[in-house]
Chains A and B, each alone.
Chain A
Amino acid sequence: MLRIASRWLREMMPEQKEKSKPPVAGSDSNREGLRVIGTPRRRVDGRAKVTGQTRFADDIFLPRMTHCKLLRSPYPHASIRKIDASRALAHPGVYLVLTGKDLPIQYGILPVSQDEQALCMDHVRHVGDPIAAVIAREELTAFEALDLIDVDYEILPTISNPEEALVTREPRIHEYGEEGNIHKLVALEFGNVEHGFVEADEIFEDTFFYQGSTHLPIEQHASVAIKDPDGKLTIWSSTQTPHYLHRALAKVLEMPPAHIRVIATPNGGGFGGKSDPFNHEIVVAKAALLLDRPVKICLTREEVFYCHRGRHPVLMKFKTGVKKDGAITGMHLQTLIDGGAYGSYGVASTYYTGALQTTTYHIPRYRFEGCRTFTNKPPCGPKRGHGTPQPRFGQEVQLDKIAEKLQIDPADLRLRITEAPNTVTANFLRLGTVNLSECIRRVVRISDWKNKFRKLPEGRGVGLACSAYLSGAGLPIYWNKMPHSGVQLKFDRGGGVSIFCGATEIGQGSDDVLAGIVAEVLGIDPFDIRLFTGDTDLGPVDLGSYSSRVTLMAGNAALQAAERGKALLAEAVALKLEVPRERLRFAGRRVFDSTAPESGVSFAEAICLAEARFGTVGTVGSYTPPKSPALYKGGGVGPSPTYSYSAAVVQVEVNPVTGWVHVPRVWIAHDIGRALNPTLVRGQVEGSVYMGLGEALMEEQEFRRLPKRLSHALVHKFPSMLEYKSPTSLDMPEVVTELVEDPDPRGPFGAKEVGQGPLLPIMPAVANAVYDAVGVRIDEVPITPEKLMKALAEKKAGREARFGPDHFPRVNWPEALRIPPPWEGGDGNAVNDVHREKPRLSKEKVLAP
């Protein structure tokens, strides 16, 4: 089937064949020509971080600054009959109390889910939903005054999980959505899967559960807002998405966007948890405008748990047909998603639970049904991997089961079915470079897989899993035709270059990516560059630090701006030196004749020459992703310019007495295209492994009901860092990282993403390793000692040696949109959708600009 797909592609897209190995973007495709790119080095913001001088939002102290605290609902679901804040307002030191009526306009990150209010007016939907804000001279005063606000609640019944949501139509948590408490239903079919199952030699049906987890950035969310001297608004905030916060503020405050400046301070960790516009940001902005004084808020750790937007708990059912040789003939995936109390990114998350299954292995026919429900818990949203780690867990564990039944080594099975590069998948995702097979071969080799799998003594085992992830979402949240990322460069007569870009530094190294690319092109040192990033006034828009998009998108914009600057400088220097432009080289802070290196000028002189000739030297660059061939409704989630690939082998030691799983070592290979700064790349890979192990073994955003006599409220089990278990330095295994570098022409210098993809294979690899070690299947995460002991007891009793969900509830799925896959003549549209668009597959450009 793979070959058929490739043949179809060659016929359908001849231009793609011709461009299958174009020169890599960036001047030199061979590593030898590069001085900055690919060299491990100190990040440009490294010094600030090790001296404590990186200014996080809560490090901002301004004259006359006031402090804000939020009154939050103690009930998971209630109507608000009355709020009386008069006692709080009379409290000494209190300047202002805001309630829902002061900020009545709804907002939300997605246009289709504008369901949040900065302060709830008449309805609270989870414990921690904010109701009122107190702004006072001192933080403690504001905190004390919260107790003086009288709220009259009418308690409503609560919904604790999706199964309850499916059968509880009233009361509705929201007045919008599909029906009752169902937020979103999706049904898509790419080819007739039933035909696929008829063709299959074996059919596997498995149910998995992936528990929710939270980002747990060490920095608590904080914001400071001021009314500028000219009456405009400025807000500093720990946000990953200043552009989207900018939009939300303009909407809720009913202010012209031109009068609002959002500055994203460096984030003390984000992981997706600072990607929504938040109520506390809107509240301090409003308060600063009213008081004409700076207003600060810093959430407590408990409040961060209530902000959440973390991993959705997902129940999954996989039905997969395979031939005896392992070839997949069809896959049917159903997901039931616990969305929590608000929409957040949830509609996108719902699609994401079914979007990337086709990107790793060839699946000729694929059906996906997803259902997101509202529950009375903090809203879920994007956490590292956004909606894809859950189904990836199910898919990779099921593949392990398939391999065992077919008696094929799981690594060999995967090698047989990996998807080909430059393929358009069944669901019309266009893949770029695909080096998944190489990743698998590398981890098999370095882990000594062949001598370990099914060969280690009882209690010890190895497991393998793979994954893919987007290098940036192919579509913006608000659909438009403008660039996703822009960069401006200013050239200084002293030889300095300033980069202006909306990209947001969340620890991942986005500033270093921009500086490294510009320094490489211009032949200067990254430390010669000044960065002005994450500021909606100073720099052109970058959509934000989400979906692993910054390296590819802001990186390409920086590359274009730098190449344009280089061209200006080269023209001026060529005239001066009287040599053709093509012969000039930019290196070592000089511009010189490559055939006679002593003939040249300093970089600063080159700028002066260019400025004398052209006037002030500045350039811009921007990046817009290629259009996606997925034209069906829902096809906007999943497309990316290119995808990263990962394969991991995890070794475990299971203690049969305690059920404790110890991980001594992890081997991981990541197809990154090109490592721009290998030091940072390794950090992203190891950080992903770390976070994946936390999700695999211990982290859970778990809730419980209080006893009936104590309000019966649905409360967070442990909203603290002590009880929410995350791996410490004692738990971290040795990690052996291999980078597969096959530059992808779509990325700057060939780079693809690394921040999220390497997390994805860890959880299933742990589960597969546990099976190899003790012969029990734990079909859910986290794999806690309790679950393992139960499964071991089942095994001992001669029953099915498994712990996991036993059923998938009935959902009234809508009629699926039927989209014939490319090899069945599909054009990217649904055949049964009246709103279908015109096909654009055959005429669009394949490569990124």
Chain B
Amino acid sequence: MATVPIESQKTAQTRFTLNGEELDVSFASYKTLLEVLREDLGHTGTKHGCELGECGACAVLLDGRPVLSCLVLALQCSGREVLTVEGLSADGRLHALQDAFADLGAAQCGYCTPGILVTAKALLDANPHPSRDEIRKALSGNLCRCTGYLQIFEAVEAAMVKTTKQGKQGC
């Protein structure tokens, strides 16, 4: 037992839905969702800036709500739905938020971007017409050192307008 390093002891097993796909994964039991996503499942789109719950870079959606994946044990995710940046686009097309972020300068270095995108998605899913203040508040746990946030707010608003229009056309 002692000769096998702890990380190599993939004694935990769980099944959860990742970006719409149900899967089984084995991992060392102490690992966080962030670590399992990046290291065991090869989903490196989710980033980390502190692994202490301070920066928001590792945000993912757990059952539709933003969580800091560095503070969630992978074992807690059994039977639940996880959405990461890799799951935002569908049918080969970017999500409206992704298009808006790319077009409007909301992603500079792009490191905080995945966490902000999923957090913004959760906001728009829960509140399709957020005010600027509501956007500010929703993103206040996601640090960005590049943009000064303003182009991020504008991109969320542009995506909001676009999804509203699409919704109306759909009706």
Asked whether, in the complex, the Cβ of B46 is within 8 Å of the Cβ of A46, the reply is no
Whether B86 sits at the interface, judged by CB under 8 Å, is: yes
Closest-by-CB residue of B relative to A694 is B145
Whether B6 sits at the interface, judged by CB under 8 Å, is: yes
Asked whether, in the complex, the Cβ of A301 is within 8 Å of the Cβ of B102, the reply is no
Which residues of chain A are near B112, meaning CB under 8 Å? 218, 268
Whether B11 sits at the interface, judged by CB under 8 Å, is: no
The distance from the CB of A732 to the nearest CB of chain B, in whole angstroms, is 5
The distance from the CB of A445 to the nearest CB of chain B, in whole angstroms, is 21
Whether B76 sits at the interface, judged by CB under 8 Å, is: no
* Chain A 551-609 interface residues, beta-carbon cutoff 8 Å to B: none
Whether B129 sits at the interface, judged by CB under 8 Å, is: no
**Complex CA distance for A683 and B154, rounded to whole angstroms:** 12
Asked whether, in the complex, the Cβ of B8 is within 8 Å of the Cβ of A218, the reply is no
Asked whether, in the complex, the Cβ of B148 is within 8 Å of the Cβ of A690, the reply is yes
**Complex CA distance for A508 and B52, rounded to whole angstroms:** 27
Contacting A269 at CB < 8 Å: which of B45, B84, B105, B145?
Answer: B145
Whether A4 sits at the interface, judged by CB under 8 Å, is: no
**Complex CA distance for A721 and B50, rounded to whole angstroms:** 7
* Chain B 77-92 interface residues, beta-carbon cutoff 8 Å to A: 84-86, 88-89
* Chain A 643-696 interface residues, beta-carbon cutoff 8 Å to B: 679-680, 682-683, 686-691
Whether B126 sits at the interface, judged by CB under 8 Å, is: no
**Complex CA distance for A689 and B136, rounded to whole angstroms:** 17
Whether A106 sits at the interface, judged by CB under 8 Å, is: no
Q: What is the size category of the interface that chain A forms with chain B?
A: 35 or more
* Chain B 93-115 interface residues, beta-carbon cutoff 8 Å to A: 94, 97-99, 101-105, 107-114
Contacting B144 at CB < 8 Å: which of A215, A218, A682, A720?
Answer: A218
The distance from the CB of A503 to the nearest CB of chain B, in whole angstroms, is 15
Of B44, B142, B153, the most chain A CB neighbours within 10 A belong to: B44
* Chain A 10-67 interface residues, beta-carbon cutoff 8 Å to B: 41-43, 45-56, 58-59, 61
Asked whether, in the complex, the Cβ of A52 is within 8 Å of the Cβ of B44, the reply is yes
* Chain A 40-96 interface residues, beta-carbon cutoff 8 Å to B: 41-43, 45-56, 58-59, 61, 92-93
Give the size of the chain B interface in residues (CB under 8 angstroms): 63
Which residues of chain B are near A683, meaning CB under 8 Å? 105, 108, 146-148, 151
**Complex CA distance for A735 and B149, rounded to whole angstroms:** 11
**With A47-B94, A50-B101, A52-B113 in contact, do A729 and B151 touch (Cβ < 8 Å)?**
no
Contacting A690 at CB < 8 Å: which of B7, B141, B149?
Answer: B149
Which residues of chain A are near B2, meaning CB under 8 Å? 92
Of B51, B111, B114, the most chain A CB neighbours within 10 A belong to: B111
Asked whether, in the complex, the Cβ of A138 is within 8 Å of the Cβ of B85, the reply is no
Asked whether, in the complex, the Cβ of A266 is within 8 Å of the Cβ of B94, the reply is no
Whether A139 sits at the interface, judged by CB under 8 Å, is: yes
Asked whether, in the complex, the Cβ of A268 is within 8 Å of the Cβ of B109, the reply is yes
Of B5, B50, B149, the most chain A CB neighbours within 10 A belong to: B5
Asked whether, in the complex, the Cβ of B5 is within 8 Å of the Cβ of A136, the reply is yes
Q: Mark B56-84, 1 if CB is under 8 A from A, else 0.
A: 01000000000000000000000000001
**Complex CA distance for A52 and B95, rounded to whole angstroms:** 13
The distance from the CB of A689 to the nearest CB of chain B, in whole angstroms, is 6
The distance from the CB of B81 to the nearest CB of chain A, in whole angstroms, is 18
Asked whether, in the complex, the Cβ of B42 is within 8 Å of the Cβ of A61, the reply is yes
Asked whether, in the complex, the Cβ of A50 is within 8 Å of the Cβ of B109, the reply is no
Secondary structure at the A interface, as helix, strand, loop or mixed, is loop
Whether A506 sits at the interface, judged by CB under 8 Å, is: yes
**With A506-B109, A720-B50 in contact, do A139 and B146 touch (Cβ < 8 Å)?**
no
Which residues of chain A are near B7, meaning CB under 8 Å? 137-141
Q: Mark A177-203, 1 if CB is under 8 A from B, else 0.
A: 000000000000000000000000000
**Complex CA distance for A45 and B141, rounded to whole angstroms:** 26
**With A49-B102, A50-B94 in contact, do A722 and B111 touch (Cβ < 8 Å)?**
no
Which residues of chain A are near B114, meaning CB under 8 Å? 52
Whether A804 sits at the interface, judged by CB under 8 Å, is: no
Asked whether, in the complex, the Cβ of B143 is within 8 Å of the Cβ of A726, the reply is yes
Closest-by-CB residue of B relative to A216 is B145
Whether B150 sits at the interface, judged by CB under 8 Å, is: yes
Whether A509 sits at the interface, judged by CB under 8 Å, is: yes
Closest-by-CB residue of A relative to B135 is A729
Asked whether, in the complex, the Cβ of A49 is within 8 Å of the Cβ of B150, the reply is no
The distance from the CB of A184 to the nearest CB of chain B, in whole angstroms, is 30
Contacting A219 at CB < 8 Å: which of B39, B102, B111?
Answer: B111
Whether A496 sits at the interface, judged by CB under 8 Å, is: no
Contacting B103 at CB < 8 Å: which of A42, A55, A139, A691?
Answer: A42
Contacting B148 at CB < 8 Å: which of A51, A509, A686, A720?
Answer: A686
Whether B22 sits at the interface, judged by CB under 8 Å, is: no
Asked whether, in the complex, the Cβ of B148 is within 8 Å of the Cβ of A46, the reply is no
Which residues of chain B are near A688, meaning CB under 8 Å? 148
**Complex CA distance for A121 and B98, rounded to whole angstroms:** 49
Asked whether, in the complex, the Cβ of B150 is within 8 Å of the Cβ of A732, the reply is yes
Which residues of chain A are near B54, meaning CB under 8 Å? 301, 720-722
Asked whether, in the complex, the Cβ of A729 is within 8 Å of the Cβ of B140, the reply is yes
Asked whether, in the complex, the Cβ of B45 is within 8 Å of the Cβ of A51, the reply is yes
Whether A451 sits at the interface, judged by CB under 8 Å, is: no
Contacting A52 at CB < 8 Å: which of B3, B86, B102, B152?
Answer: B86
Closest-by-CB residue of A relative to B9 is A138
Whether B55 sits at the interface, judged by CB under 8 Å, is: yes
Asked whether, in the complex, the Cβ of B94 is within 8 Å of the Cβ of A722, the reply is no
Whether B49 sits at the interface, judged by CB under 8 Å, is: yes
Closest-by-CB residue of B relative to A507 is B109
* Chain A 198-226 interface residues, beta-carbon cutoff 8 Å to B: 215-220
Whether A271 sits at the interface, judged by CB under 8 Å, is: yes
**Complex CA distance for A547 and B3, rounded to whole angstroms:** 50
Q: Mark B25-37, 1 if CB is under 8 A from A, else 0.
A: 0000000000000
**Complex CA distance for A683 and B110, rounded to whole angstroms:** 13
**Complex CA distance for A219 and B52, rounded to whole angstroms:** 14
Of B8, B39, B105, B135, the most chain A CB neighbours within 10 A belong to: B105
Of A51, A61, A139, A508, the most chain B CB neighbours within 10 A belong to: A51
**Complex CA distance for A728 and B112, rounded to whole angstroms:** 13
Asked whether, in the complex, the Cβ of A507 is within 8 Å of the Cβ of B110, the reply is yes
Which residues of chain A are near B107, meaning CB under 8 Å? 46, 49-50
Whether B18 sits at the interface, judged by CB under 8 Å, is: no
**Complex CA distance for A690 and B84, rounded to whole angstroms:** 28
**With A269-B111, A720-B54 in contact, do A47 and B145 touch (Cβ < 8 Å)?**
no
Closest-by-CB residue of B relative to A728 is B140
The distance from the CB of A533 to the nearest CB of chain B, in whole angstroms, is 14
Which residues of chain A are near B171, meaning CB under 8 Å? none
Contacting B108 at CB < 8 Å: which of A92, A215, A508?
Answer: A508
Contacting A93 at CB < 8 Å: which of B5, B38, B51, B153?
Answer: B5
**Complex CA distance for A300 and B51, rounded to whole angstroms:** 8
Asked whether, in the complex, the Cβ of A220 is within 8 Å of the Cβ of B109, the reply is no
Whether A730 sits at the interface, judged by CB under 8 Å, is: yes
**Complex CA distance for A722 and B52, rounded to whole angstroms:** 9
Contacting B5 at CB < 8 Å: which of A54, A92, A216, A507?
Answer: A92
**Complex CA distance for A59 and B112, rounded to whole angstroms:** 14
Closest-by-CB residue of B relative to A681 is B105
Q: Mark A259-272, 1 if CB is under 8 A from B, else 0.
A: 00000001111110
Q: What are 21 A-B pairs at a CB distance below 8 A? A: A41-B103, A42-B102, A50-B94, A50-B102, A51-B88, A52-B46, A52-B114, A54-B110, A58-B44, A59-B44, A92-B2, A219-B49, A220-B49, A266-B110, A268-B110, A301-B51, A507-B109, A679-B105, A683-B148, A729-B152, A732-B150
Residues of B bordering A, CB below 8 Å: 2-8, 38-39, 42, 44-52, 54-55, 57, 84-86, 88-89, 94, 97-99, 101-105, 107-114, 117, 135-137, 139-153
- Please name 19 further chain A to chain B contacts, defined as beta carbons within 8 Å, in addition to the given A49-B102, A218-B55, sorted by A numbering: A46-B103, A47-B94, A49-B109, A49-B110, A50-B98, A50-B99, A50-B110, A51-B86, A52-B45, A92-B5, A137-B7, A217-B109, A269-B111, A506-B109, A508-B108, A680-B105, A689-B148, A722-B54, A734-B150
* Nearest 5 interchain pairs by C-beta: A52-B45, A507-B109, A49-B110, A268-B111, A690-B148
